[in-house]
Amino acid sequence: MYILGGTSSKTITEDLSKELEQPLARTTLKRFPDDEFYVRILDNIGDEEVIIVQTTYPDANIVELLLIQDAVYEAGANKITVVLPYFGYSRQDKKFEDGEPISARAIAEHISLHADCIVTVDPHKEHILDFFNVPAYSCSATPEIAKYLKEKDIDFVLAPDKGAMERAQQISDIIRCEYDYMEKIRIDGTTVKIKPKNLEIQNKKVAIIDDIISTGGTMAKAIKELKRQGAKEVSIACTHGLFVGGAKEKILSAGCDEIISTDTIENEFSKVRAAPCISEVLLKNLH
Ligand code: R5P
């Protein structure tokens, strides 16, 4: 077996190689002067099982993945497993308006072309797994995030919207503290409103948990509300940290004390590793 990483998921690729005790495939990955991607596999992977690791964000990484899959297929691998630490486009999981694509399905179908199995971490909605034409499994980095938060003596976990409530409950069970959720109304891609709600958080260390932080708008609104209600410290944690369009500044100026994310999208806040939950699901489902 070989583990083969694209350029988007270096730490997870290396961690998986260590955890599964399988070698990294040697590759040449580069970009032509016009920015088109080039891949060449240097090891003989014919008749081997290959695990490709690549986050599909931003868009250029989707093309990388498709070309890596094609190279692995051409080299005659006997089984191709694709690990998508973050599955970009998963939020467009249905047609919200007439005339739109089902983007998650479109990307999933293309990835399925040269894949025997898919593994992804904390998908935005579980039903996106059905968009792949091959068996697809999810795993959750939430327990790893909970371990990190436990060390920080968090005494209240908050979901910024109902969609994240299960995640908040799971973390509160692990670190043994209270949890609650807020009601979020999304106005557009960058604007959200949080309905006021009284929480028992006076002088408490609160962690807000979500699957994705993108523009930081959701977190900034929730942080301000918690500080207004007297929280002593507010940390925020997510699995997938996109941090686009000045998100970091927005979150820090809202009064955030610590930003935490996993390494499904590598960034300066990747303090929690996603590889343990991925290797667990690989070991359970692949043999
Ligand atoms: C939405 O349902 C997700 O769970 C996140 O709450 C959302 O993607 C966060 O986006 P932003 O950081 O732009 O507010």
Of the listed 79, 94, 147, 184, which one is catalytic? 184
For residue 184, give the ligand 1 atom closest to its CA: 6
Distance 223 CA to ligand 1 centre (A): 14
Question: Using an 8 Å Cβ cutoff, are 254 and 236 in contact?
Answer: no
Question: Using an 8 Å Cβ cutoff, are 51 and 81 in contact?
Answer: yes
Distance 185 CA to ligand 1 centre (A): 11
Question: Using an 8 Å Cβ cutoff, are 152 and 209 in contact?
Answer: no
Q: What is the pLDDT, as a whole number, of residue 195?
A: 82
With a CB cutoff of 8 Å and minimum separation 6, the contacts of 206 are: 154, 155, 156, 157, 158, 226, 231, 233, 234, 235
Distance 149 CA to ligand 1 centre (A): 20
| CA–CA separation, 191 and 185 (whole Å) | 9
30 catalytic per annotation: no
Examine residue 33 and say whether the peptide bond preceding it is cis (omega within 30 degrees of 0).
Answer: no
Using a 10 angstrom Cβ sphere, with 0-12 exposed, 13-18 middle and 19 or more buried, the burial of residue 20 is middle
The answer, yes or no, to whether any atom of ligand 1 lies below 6 A from the CB of 242, is: no
Q: Helix (H, G, I), strand (E, B), or coil: what is residue 140?
A: coil
| CA–CA separation, 108 and 118 (whole Å) | 10
Q: At 236, list the tokens.
A: 């925020």
CA-closest residue to ligand 1 atom 5: 212
Distance 218 CA to ligand 1 centre (A): 6
| CA–CA separation, 208 and 220 (whole Å) | 10
For residue 189, give the ligand 1 atom closest to its CA: 13
Question: Which residue from 213, 248, 252, 264 has its CB within 8 A of the most atoms of ligand 1, so it is best to mutate?
Answer: 213
| CA–CA separation, 96 and 34 (whole Å) | 35
Q: At 35, list the tokens.
A: 């920015």
For residue 164, give the ligand 1 atom closest to its CA: 4
The answer, yes or no, to whether any atom of ligand 1 lies below 6 A from the CB of 192, is: yes
Question: Using an 8 Å Cβ cutoff, are 204 and 174 in contact?
Answer: no
Report field, pTM of the whole predicted structure over 0.75: yes
Among 5, 242, 250, 206, which Cα is nearest to 124's?
A: 242
Ranges in the chain, pLDDT < 70: 286-287
The answer, yes or no, to whether any atom of ligand 1 lies below 6 A from the CB of 214, is: yes
Question: Using an 8 Å Cβ cutoff, are 29 and 5 in contact?
Answer: no
The answer, yes or no, to whether any atom of ligand 1 lies below 6 A from the CB of 93, is: no
Q: What is the pLDDT, as a whole number, of residue 286?
A: 67
In total, the chain counts a number of residues equal to 287
pLDDT digits (tens, 9 = 90+) for 129-180: 999 999 999 999 999 999 999 999 999 999 999 989 999 999 999 999 999 9
The answer, yes or no, to whether any atom of ligand 1 lies below 6 A from the CB of 261, is: no
Distance 163 CA to ligand 1 centre (A): 10
Which sign, positive or negative, has the C-alpha torsion 279, 285, 286, 287?
positive
Question: Using an 8 Å Cβ cutoff, are 139 and 220 in contact?
Answer: no
Q: At 21, list the tokens.
A: 């005790």
The answer, yes or no, to whether any atom of ligand 1 lies below 6 A from the CB of 92, is: no
Dihedral angle of Cα 170, 172, 178, 180, to the nearest 10 degrees: -40
